Structure 1
C-alpha cells in the first residue's frame, strides 16, 4: 500500500480553503497528520482561514479552542486583523463580553492593539446595542489609540440608532474640529439618521456640503437614504428626480432604489407608474430580485388586490427567484387585515409545500388576525403550535385572547391557553398575574363565577405554572 503523503503547512491552507464543512475543517486543522506524533507547524494563513470558517458558522466553542491554541503557539506572531475578525464574529453572535475579552487580551498574543481593533470592538458593541459600554470606551479612547474617521462614523451611527440626532451632530462637529476629514460613510451615516427622522432639509444640506466643501461624491447608500426620506414624506416626485440625478451622475442604481420608489408609488395610488419603473429597470440591466418583488407584493396588498399579489409569487417562482418568508408574511398580513382569515390560514398551511416555513412573525400575524376575528378556537390551536416550536405571541396578544375567551365564558379554552404556555415554560409570574388581572376586572365579575370555581379546583395546575 502506498504511504500517505504528509500534509504540509502550505497544503493545509489549501485544504482548509476548499473544505466547505466547518466541522470537518476544524477537525482537519487540529489533526492534519493524525498518525504523526510530531507537533504541526500551523501557518498564520491556516489560523486565519479556520477562524473565519468557525466564526461565520457561529461555532464559538470550537473558535475558543483555536484562540487558545494561537495564544500558546509562540512561533506565530498574529496580525491584528485576526483579532478584528474574531471581535466582529463575537459581535454578530451577540456575545459582547467575549468581544471585550478578546480586545483586552490582544497583547497576550504578542500583538499590538491599534485603532483598527478598537473600531472593531466599537462596532461589535453597537451590533449588540451595548451603548453604555461604547460610551465608556469612547471617553477613554485617548489612552488606547488615536480616533480616526471610522471611529467617529461608528459613534455617529450609534447615536442615530438611539435616536439621539443631537449627539450624532455633536460627534460629527467634534470630528471636523479635530481636523479629521469625514468620509462618504461618515456623511452617509448621519444623512441616513436624519432622513429616518424626517429631517430632510438638514440631510440635503449635508449632501451639498460633502459635494461642495469636501469634493466627495455621494454613493448609492446616501441616495437611497434621501430617496427613502422623501418617500416617507410622500414626496414621490422629488424622490424620482433624485433617482434621475443618480442616472446622470452614473451612480449605480440597485434594487433598493427601485423597491423604495415602487412602494411609494403604490402608497400614493400611482400604481400605473410602477410599470414604467419596471421597464426602466430592464433598460438599466437592473434585475428584479426578492426586494423589488416583495415591494410589488406589498403594493398590491395595500390595494387589496390579492390576486395580483399571488400572481407575483407565481412569477417569482417562474423566473427562479424563490419567495422568502417575508413574501408570504406580507400577503398573510394583508388577508388578515381584510378579515380574509380562511385564505390567510390556507396560505399559512401551504407554505411548507412551497418550501418556505413560517417564522415567529408569520405565527404572530395569523394569531393576531384570528384573535381580532374572534376565531378563538383556531387562535388557541395556533398558540399551542407556536409554543411547541418555541415561539410566543406578544403579551398584549395573549391578553387579548384571554380577555375574549373569558368574555365568552369558555373556561376550557382558557385552560388550554394556560396549559400551552406552561408546556413551553413560557408562563411566569408576570403572565399569571396578567391572567388574574383579566379575570378580576370589576365589570367582568358577574360573568366569571364558573372560572373562579375552576381556578380553585385547578389549584395544582396554577401552582405548577407559577
Structure 2
C-alpha cells in the first residue's frame, strides 16, 4: 500500500480557499498532514496565513484568529503584507471592537511590516463607523508626523463631518485637502453632495456638482448624482431630476439601480404609474436588473396614491420576473389598506402570507393590529393580540391604549377581561390602562365589575 501523499503549502492554500466552514479550515491549517509523521515543521505560505486569518475574522472567531497571528509573528521566511493587518482591523471594527483594532494597528511593526497611510485610513474608518469621533481627533493629531494623508483619508474625515451634521467642518476639510495638493475624487464629491442634500442645501450641492466637472475635471459618476436626484424628487422637481438623468446618459455613465429606483419611486408617488413602468422597462433594457427595493418603491408609491390594484400588479410582476416579494412588500400594502379602512382586505392578505411563502414579522403584526384598532374591529384585534404574544411580539403602547379605550367605551366586559389578562401576563398594563378602566367603571357605575377584573388579572 502506497504512503499518503503530503499536502504541499500551495495545495493547502487551495484547500483552505474552498473550505467554507471556518472551524474545519482551522483544523486543516493546524494539521495539514495528519497521516504523515515528519520531524520538520510544515512550511506555511503567506497566502495560507492570509486565507485562514480572513476566514476566522469574518466568522468573528477572534481568539483563534489571534492565535494564528501569534504564529505568523514568529515566521522569519517572509514579511507579511500590510493588507492582512488592515483586514484584521476592519474585522474588529465590524464587531464594534475599536480597542482591538487599535491594538492590531500598534502591533503591525512587530511583524516587521511598515505602516503606510492604508493602515492609518483603516483605523480612521473603524473609529468613524464605531462612532468614536473624539478618538478620531486624537488619532489625527499625530498622523501627519508619520504618513502623508491621501484622498481616502480626507474622504473618511469629510464623511464623518457630514454624518454628524458639521457641514462647515466638512467644507474646511475639503479646503485643507486642496491646499495640501491632494486631488479630490468622485467619492469626495459624492460624500459632500450627499451631506448637503441631507441638510436641504440643494443649491450648494448643484453648484458643487458643476464645479466637480468644470474646475476639477472629475468625470461624473452615478453616486454623485443619486442624492441630487433623490432631493429633487423629494421636493417634487421631477423634470430637473430627469434632466440630471439625461446628463448622466450624455456622459455615457451607466445608471445604477439607486438612480432608477429613486425615479420610479417618485413617479409612483405622484401617480404617474405609466411613466414608472416605462422607467422600469428602460432599467431592464439597460442591463440593470430591478431588485426588491425597486419594486417596493413602486408598491409604496401606488399605495400612497391608494391605487391598490396597481400595487397588487407589481407583486404579480415581481413573481413573474423571479424577484420574490419580501415582508416589506406586503407590509406596505397591508399598511395602506388599513389606512383606508380596507381592514378585511388587509386581514385577508395578512392571513395569506404563509401561502405566499413569506413570514410575518413584528412590523406586520403591529400594522394589522393598529389598523384593526383604528377601525374598531376589537374582536379581530384581540385575536391578533393573542397571536402576537404567542410569537413573542408586542404591539405599540398607543395601539394597546386604543384597544382598551374602545372596549371600555363599548363596556364589553368579556372581551376587556380577556385583553387585560393577556396584557397582565405580558406585563404590559400601565397606569394609563387602569385609569381607562376605572374611568369607564365610574361613568357606568360598574365598580364591582372593575374589582372583579382587577382580582382576575392580578391573581397569577
Range of TM-score over shorter length: 0.7 to 0.9
Partner of 1:260: 262
Partners of 2:380 and 2:138 lie apart in 1 by: 50
Partners of 1:439 and 1:140 lie apart in 2 by: 60
Establish whether residue 26 from structure 1 lines up as the match of residue 21 from structure 2: no
Partners of 2:113 and 2:421 lie apart in 1 by: 60
The residue correspondences of 1:369-388 to structure 2 (distance < 5 A) are 369-376=371-378, 378-379=380-381, 382=384, 385-386=387-388
- Cα distance change on mapping 1:283 and 1:35 into 2, 3 Å: closer
Please say if residues 48 and 82 of structure 1, whose CA atoms lie closer than 8 Å, have aligned partners that are also in contact: yes
How many pairs does the alignment contain? 444
The residue correspondences of 1:148-159 to structure 2 (distance < 5 A) are 148-159=150-161
Partners of 1:413 and 1:352 lie apart in 2 by: 26
Partners of 2:97 and 2:455 lie apart in 1 by: 45
Partners of 2:208 and 2:186 lie apart in 1 by: 11
Partners of 1:310 and 1:83 lie apart in 2 by: 50
Unaligned runs of 5+ in 2: 409-415
- RMSD (Å) for aligned C-alpha atoms: 3.1
The residue correspondences of 1:442-457 to structure 2 (distance < 5 A) are 444=439, 446=442
Please say if residues 108 and 114 of structure 2, whose CA atoms lie closer than 8 Å, have aligned partners that are also in contact: yes
Partners of 2:378 and 2:4 lie apart in 1 by: 67
The residue correspondences of 1:351-366 to structure 2 (distance < 5 A) are 351-366=353-368
Partners of 2:2 and 2:351 lie apart in 1 by: 57
Spell out, residue by residue over 1:247-300, the C-alpha distance to the aligned partner (whole angstroms, 9 max, x if none): 111000122212111111122232232233234334434333333222222222
Residue 20 of structure 1 aligns to a residue whose secondary structure is coil
Q: Which moved more, 1:354-363 or 1:323-332?
A: 354-363
Partner of 2:245: 243
- Specify which of 402, 421, 424 is matched with residue 415 of structure 1: 421
Please say if residues 269 and 300 of structure 2, whose CA atoms lie closer than 8 Å, have aligned partners that are also in contact: no
Q: Which moved more, 1:280-289 or 1:172-181?
A: 280-289
Partners of 2:146 and 2:375 lie apart in 1 by: 59
- Specify which of 158, 168, 171 is matched with residue 169 of structure 1: 171
Unaligned runs of 5+ in 1: 423-430, 462-466
Partner of 2:67: 68
Partners of 2:351 and 2:131 lie apart in 1 by: 36
Partner of 1:134: 136
Partner of 1:275: 277
Partners of 2:367 and 2:137 lie apart in 1 by: 37
Partners of 1:375 and 1:107 lie apart in 2 by: 68
Establish whether residue 436 from structure 1 lines up as the match of residue 431 from structure 2: yes
Partners of 2:56 and 2:203 lie apart in 1 by: 45
Partner of 1:12: 12
Partners of 1:9 and 1:272 lie apart in 2 by: 60
Deviation of residue 202 (structure 1)?
Answer: 0.5
Partners of 2:89 and 2:144 lie apart in 1 by: 20
Partner of 1:427: none
Please say if residues 22 and 53 of structure 1, whose CA atoms lie closer than 8 Å, have aligned partners that are also in contact: yes
Deviation of residue 357 (structure 1)?
Answer: 2.6
Partners of 2:276 and 2:94 lie apart in 1 by: 37
Deviation of residue 191 (structure 1)?
Answer: 0.4
Q: Which moved more, 1:321-330 or 1:178-187?
A: 321-330
Q: Which moved more, 1:277-286 or 1:300-309?
A: 277-286
Spell out, residue by residue over 1:285-332, the C-alpha distance to the aligned partner (whole angstroms, 9 max, x if none): 433333322222222222222222222222222222222333222222
Partner of 2:79: 77
Residue 354 of structure 1 aligns to a residue whose secondary structure is coil
The residue correspondences of 1:331-346 to structure 2 (distance < 5 A) are 331-346=333-348
Please say if residues 224 and 257 of structure 1, whose CA atoms lie closer than 8 Å, have aligned partners that are also in contact: yes
Deviation of residue 211 (structure 1)?
Answer: 1.2
Partner of 1:51: 53
Residue 7 of structure 2 aligns to a residue whose secondary structure is coil
- Cα distance change on mapping 1:306 and 1:451 into 2, 3 Å: same
Partners of 2:327 and 2:112 lie apart in 1 by: 47
Deviation of residue 213 (structure 1)?
Answer: 1.6
- Specify which of 205, 209, 213 is matched with residue 211 of structure 2: 209
Please say if residues 90 and 98 of structure 1, whose CA atoms lie closer than 8 Å, have aligned partners that are also in contact: yes
Partners of 1:181 and 1:6 lie apart in 2 by: 52
Spell out, residue by residue over 1:425-448, the C-alpha distance to the aligned partner (whole angstroms, 9 max, x if none): xxxxxx77xx12553589948479
**Normalising by the residue count of structure 2, what TM-score does the alignment of the two structures yield?**
0.85
Partner of 2:350: 348
Partners of 1:121 and 1:178 lie apart in 2 by: 22
The residue correspondences of 1:175-254 to structure 2 (distance < 5 A) are 175-254=177-256
Please say if residues 71 and 108 of structure 1, whose CA atoms lie closer than 8 Å, have aligned partners that are also in contact: no
- Cα distance change on mapping 1:43 and 1:156 into 2, 3 Å: same
- Cα distance change on mapping 1:80 and 1:268 into 2, 3 Å: same
Deviation of residue 13 (structure 1)?
Answer: 0.8
